[in-house]
Amino acid sequence: MGTVERFVDEGARVLVGDVSDGAGAALAAKFDGQVAYRHCDVTDESQIKALMDEAGARFGGIDVLFNNAGAGGAPNRMADMTGAAWDSVQALLVRSVALGITYAIPHMKARGGGSVINTASIAGTQAGYGPIAYSTAKAAVIHLTRVAAADLARDGIRVNAICPGLILTNIFTPAEAVPPGLATMIKQTMAQSAPNTQPIEKAGLPADIAAAVLFFATEDSAFVTGAHLMVDGGLFVGPRNSWDPEMRQERTRMMEERRATFEAAQAQDAQSG
Ligand SMILES: NC(=O)c1ccc[n+]([C@@H]2O[C@H](COP(=O)([O-])OP(=O)(O)OC[C@H]3O[C@@H](n4cnc5c(N)ncnc54)[C@H](O)[C@@H]3O)[C@@H](O)[C@H]2O)c1
C-alpha cells in the first residue's frame, strides 16, 4: 500500500492485485482514476495471467511490475517439515514471482521494455530472520532475479530485487492468526523496539521500501539489473557488537573479565606446581 501511494504521488497508474479485497477496494476508491483493484490470488496461475492481461489492456502495456505479495507461511522446522507446508510457501513466494514475470513479458515488450522489482528479504541472505521454508523461498527470489535479468536483458526488461529488513507492516500479525487486541499490542511493542534493531536508529517503514522500488522502476537505475538491494537500516552488516558502541563496551568488559579469570587460574596452577 505504501508503494502504491508513492507511485500515485509520482503520477503512475496502478493496477493492484491482492486477496485482501476490502483494503484493495478502499485503495482504489481513495485514488479513483489512478488506482484500480483486481482480486488476484498469486498462488493461482490463471489469476496472475488475468491480472497482467488486464493491466496490459488498461494501460496499453506494462512498464513496471512489483511482485510483492507474501506472508510468513508455514513455521515448520526441518524435523517436522511436510511436503504440503513446503509447497504452499514456495507457491506463494517463488512460483508467483516467476509467473508474474512470465505473464508480464508480452505487455512489457509492447512498451519496448520494462522493469520488474521482486520483494525478497534479509531472510533470503542469512539464517535467523524467518521460518525455513520462507527463508529458502526468499533466497530463491534473489537468484530468480539474477537469472531472469540475464534472460530478459535482450528484451529491454530489467529485473531487480529488494531485501527488506524489519519493516513495520501487518505481516507479523496476520488477521487469521492474531486477534485484533493482541495485534495492536504486538504492533505497539514492535514500533517501540524497531529503532534499536539495526544500525540506523529508526523503524523501517513501507515508505522506505517504496523509495527503493521507485529507484528500480525509473531510468535512474537504467544500468542496474540482476541486483538485490538491502533496505534494512544496515541490519545485514553484522552482529550487534559490530555496530552498537554500548554492546562493544559490554563485550570488552566480558573479555577482560574472562582474561582475569584465566590469569588467576594460571597463577593458582603455578603456585600449586
Ligand atoms: N515486513 C517485513 O519486515 C518484511 C521483511 C522482509 C520481507 N518482507 C516481504 O515484503 C512483502 C510484503 O509484505 P508486508 O510486510 O507488506 O506484509 P503485509 O501482510 O502487510 O502485506 C502482504 C500482502 O500480501 C497479500 N497476500 C498474501 N497472500 C496473497 C496471495 N496468495 N495472493 C495475493 N496477495 C496475497 C496480503 O493480502 C497483503 O496485502 C512480502 O513478500 C514479505 O515477505 C517483509
Q: Is residue 70 in contact with ligand 1, taking CB distance under 6 Å?
A: yes
Does 134 qualify as catalytic in the annotation?
Answer: yes
For 2-238, which CATH class?
A: alpha beta
Q: Which pLDDT belongs to residue 158?
A: 99
b/e sequence 74-101, b meaning 16+ C-beta within 10 Å: bebeeeeeeeebbebbbbbbbbbbbbbb
**Separation of CA 1 and ligand 1 centre (Å):** 10
What pLDDT does residue 239 have? 87
Average pLDDT over residues 123-146: 98
Task: Tell me, in angstroms, the distance from the centre of ligand 1 to residue 93's CA.
Answer: 9
Q: Give the pLDDT score at 140.
A: 98
Tell the residue nearest (CA) to atom 27 of ligand 1. 70
Q: What is the pLDDT of residues 164-194, one digit of tens each?
A: 999 999 999 998 899 999 999 999 999 999 9
Cβ(42) – ligand 1 distance below 6 Å: yes
CA of 130 to the centre of ligand 1 (A): 13
> Sign of the CA dihedral 232, 237, 240, 245?
negative
Distance CA 19, CA 37 (A): 10
Q: Report the predicted TM-score, pTM, of the whole model to 2 decimal places.
A: 0.94
Q: Do 103 and 53 touch, CB atoms closer than 8 A? A: yes
**At residue 273, does pLDDT exceed 80?**
no
Any atom of ligand 1 within 6 Å of the Cβ of 71: yes
**173 CB within 6 A, ligand 1:** no
pLDDT of residue 269: 87
Query: CA nearest 33: which of 57, 52, 58, 62?
Result: 58
The pLDDT mean for the chain works out to 96
